[in-house]
Structure 1
Amino acid sequence: MAEENPREVPLWAERLREERRKRAWPQKKLVAQLFKAAGQDVALPMPESVLRRIKDHEAGRNLPKDPYPILYCRVYGLSERDLFLDSAPESRRSPDEILATLLPQPGEPLAARFTHRNRRRVGASTVNDLSARVHGLRLADDVLSGDDLIGPAFRELDDVVHLYRDSTHSDDVGRALLVIIGEYAQIAGWIASDAAQHDLAARTYRLGIEAAREAGDEVLESNLTGSLAYQIANVGDPAEGVALARAALHVLGPHAPGRARALAWDRVAWAHVRTGDGPATMRALGEAGSALAGDRGNGNPAYLYWVNAGELQVMEARAYTELRRPLRAIPLLVDVLNRYDTTHTREFSLYLSWLAVALADANEPEEAVRAARRMLDLSADVASKRAAHRTRVVLKRLAQYRDVPPVQELLNEYRYSA
């Protein structure tokens, strides 16, 4: 969870700084010590990059990622627990370990709950188990990325589809299972899209739309249709994205939860951004804000937990950035980033990428480089094709300032020559 005071320096950062000061080392001396501790078995970037990371670590801006925790421990002669308490080990858990924490374990494997020869009857308890598991997958997506999650996500989706087809159940339970299939399809499609498996994502979204429609769940159908519209607007025909986003809005009735209507309008806004239609974008953003303001908190499905004023602010800032209105985008992005949960590394790095682009558009190349470096450091540890794409976008936008020394240094460091 985010710290209550985002400007408070974490204890591990104070400890890193104190250990260096005990030895009367300047930060450049620590760079040399880290390289010495790395020896031949650990690869480090250039000394300038290591120095920047030391500064970020000691300021508490970024929790050290591999290989830095073990190198600090070697240099200072302390255990990882003594130096970082529980922070570093937690941050470096494997995707499987994180999933094991977030996905509730069923009483028995899904595959064991039925056989073709002796079909098991499924009841409400199974539906409750699956609801917890699909929400756990959504929470996992907050801290992991597409390449980490695509295998587990599609195994879970396949299991629940087979469970629906090969078990017996009441009409109410069958309808609930269809909703679960739709929810799994939405998050699995999102994960596939993040991993740049766009055809797979589109097929998965359509499976979910079919399941939601059969279950009569208009809110879920709208969410899935809007997710597909978002992908098409980004990697397909933006005009088709607009049409599909508006179809997602049309699916919702007038009494749909405010968060659902806000998300649908948000998708419409982004599709209009991709077509370059500024006025239509602003109208849609205004409708999204009004819908969210009118939300009464009743009847919101669990999968809308992330739709809030901060996320709408992010979309507004991204829209202004894409429409080349940086003076409006920058204050919004700075405000969001000051409050954002930094454990959501992928999203944090993506938002930094829009800040870097907006600063470049505002003719502030040095500030753009600072945002870009922070974004690049974070995204280096993120297995997300979206983050990789944004890296290319940021470097391309900065290339127009290649005569500015900090920009040229960054482009050389990342071997960008286009």
Structure 2
Amino acid sequence: MPTEKEALGARLRAAREAPPYWSRGEMARRIRRAASPGDREQLAHVQALTHMIKEWERGLHRPSPRYRSLYALATGRTEDELFGPERSAQRAEPLGSLPGLPLPSGELSARLAEITGRRVGAGIVTDLAARVHGLRLADDLLAGGDLFVPAVRELENAIRVHRESSHSEQTSRELLALIGEFAQIAGWVASDAGEHDRAAEIYRLGIDAAREAGDRTLESNLLGSLAYQVANVGEPAEGVELARASLDVAGPDAPPRARALAWDRFAWANARAQDRAATVEALGQASAALDQNEHQDADPGYLYWVSEGELQVMEARAYTELRRPLRAVPLLADVLSRYDATHTRELALYLSWLAVALVDANEPEEAAAVTSRMLDLSAEVASDRTAKRAHLVLERLRPFESSPPVAQVLREAPEPRGASLG
């Protein structure tokens, strides 16, 4: 028996495919046209909305109240006809609680109880901004398996503050933007923990929050994060569409580091899709955008990590994905020679790409040495990404197991789990 979400998805697909039959892209355009001109700016762009429609029809997510209303208008049906009893079961607020998220406890819970119903202002905004930045710094050192529960708890706290207190319009926008920032880091952490469906749901919530706040730079960042996950664990072509939407939302006037990151995500999605020309063009655009960053103080704080070195890593990863090891190996070797060893997860991930590039360069003994170091680093890291990258590297080494160094690494490696991730 299909789940409630699957049954709803089937109804939405049937409504779309009824004569005269609309593609998902056409359905996305019709939903946007159904909105008033003022509301249209608050909606997802066509590429992102097309992906959302696909997820609705698969029963992965439910449309928010705004999209339910527009879907009904676009198809000429009533909301009751399309959504049935499910309509009254959902909250009317644009933002709601993610199902299954742990509620805060202890001292923080008591403080939130004091906030409920009260008017809040700059003080709570400052406090939440410090908490989200602390969470980002923790992600530099800890893996998704360690941070998942704290990250989603912090997101839930921010949502409760916005929903259960009163505040000015300006404070409301600032709180919504902070919800978007919490959602970006919580989605990233969830993805690293292997909770990909939860990550997509959290990213979607953050995109809605950023759009409500009118923060296009943050919306672009969230779309790019979702594109990165979809390119890695979904269909790369959909990742390309979402990454293009991230670029469109950012626009030419976004801060340079925001544009550089959006182009970087677009480059990676195209590399996963094996589009070499688009990848190389996007890498060049990312570098050019970062070169314009003369006033870093104007960049949002969450872009602190976007640097020339990080772009170099993405360039090397993209060339590895495109099986161009002679371009990838020197770049990775240069980055790794000066990388902060306290960032264990990232160091292990970057070593995994170097190992793959060395295999492609027909240097299995060097690849085995790099793999051994990578496995040592990742042994105690609670990251789904590092575990799956280890699996990929070991599989790429197996054709060379007649080489004693390779045979030793394969023999001593822990039992891998999962399939490959980008």
TM range (shorter): 0.7 to 0.9
Which shifted more, 295-304 or 176-185?
A: 295-304
Give the 3-state SS of the residue equivalent to 2:120 in structure 1.
coil
Cα shift readout 1:228-278 (whole Å, capped 9, x = no counterpart): 000000000110100110000000132110000000000000000111011
Change (3 A) 1:256 1:385: same
Give the 3-state SS of the residue equivalent to 1:295 in structure 2.
coil
Q: Which has the larger radius of gyration?
A: 1
Kept in 2: contact 1:288–1:312 (CA 8 A):
yes
CA distance in 2, matches of 1:411, 1:346: 21
Aligned to 1:278: 276
Q: CA deviation at 1:225?
A: 0.4
Q: CA deviation at 1:327?
A: 0.9
CA distance in 2, matches of 1:171, 1:125: 15
CA distance in 2, matches of 1:313, 1:175: 35
Cα shift readout 1:3-56 (whole Å, capped 9, x = no counterpart): xxxxxxxxxxxxxxxxxxxxxxxxxxxxxxxxxxxxxxxxxxxxxxxxxxxxxx
Aligned to 1:194: 192
Mapping of residues 99-110 of structure 1, within 5 Å: 109-110=107-108
Asked whether 1:381 is paired with 2:380, we answer yes
Kept in 2: contact 1:110–1:163 (CA 8 A):
no
Change (3 A) 1:166 1:286: same
CA distance in 2, matches of 1:394, 1:167: 50
CA distance in 2, matches of 1:416, 1:114: 44
Q: CA deviation at 1:113?
A: 3.8
Cα shift readout 1:83-105 (whole Å, capped 9, x = no counterpart): xxxxxxxxxxxxxxxxxxxxxxx
Q: CA deviation at 1:414?
A: 2.1
Provide the alpha-carbon RMSD of the alignment: 1.7
Aligned to 2:78: none
Q: CA deviation at 1:112?
A: 3.0
- Identity, % of aligned positions: 64
Aligned to 1:250: 248
Mapping of residues 187-336 of structure 1, within 5 Å: 187-296=185-294, 297-336=296-335
Cα shift readout 1:191-239 (whole Å, capped 9, x = no counterpart): 0000010000000000000000000000000000000000000000110
Which shifted more, 176-185 or 112-121?
A: 112-121
CA distance in 2, matches of 1:391, 1:334: 19
Change (3 A) 1:372 1:213: same
CA distance in 2, matches of 1:143, 1:128: 24
Q: CA deviation at 1:117?
A: 10
The residue type paired with residue 307 of structure 1 is V
Mapping of residues 7-86 of structure 1, within 5 Å: none
CA distance in 2, matches of 1:148, 1:320: 31
The residue type paired with residue 350 of structure 1 is L
4+ aligned runs moved over 6 Å, structure 1: 415-418
Q: CA deviation at 1:111?
A: 3.1
CA distance in 1, matches of 2:414, 2:353: 21
CA distance in 1, matches of 2:347, 2:114: 46
Kept in 1: contact 2:375–2:413 (CA 8 A):
no
CA distance in 2, matches of 1:303, 1:263: 11
Kept in 2: contact 1:245–1:271 (CA 8 A):
yes
Contiguous gaps of at least 5 residues in structure 1: 1-107
Asked whether 1:163 is paired with 2:161, we answer yes
Change (3 A) 1:369 1:300: same
The residue type paired with residue 169 of structure 1 is H
CA distance in 1, matches of 2:382, 2:113: 37
The residue type paired with residue 153 of structure 2 is R
Kept in 2: contact 1:223–1:264 (CA 8 A):
yes
The residue type paired with residue 254 of structure 1 is P
Asked whether 1:339 is paired with 2:333, we answer no
Aligned to 1:399: 398
CA distance in 1, matches of 2:140, 2:115: 40
Kept in 1: contact 2:186–2:202 (CA 8 A):
yes
Q: How many residues align?
A: 311
CA distance in 2, matches of 1:342, 1:154: 27
Kept in 2: contact 1:411–1:417 (CA 8 A):
no
The residue type paired with residue 301 of structure 2 is A
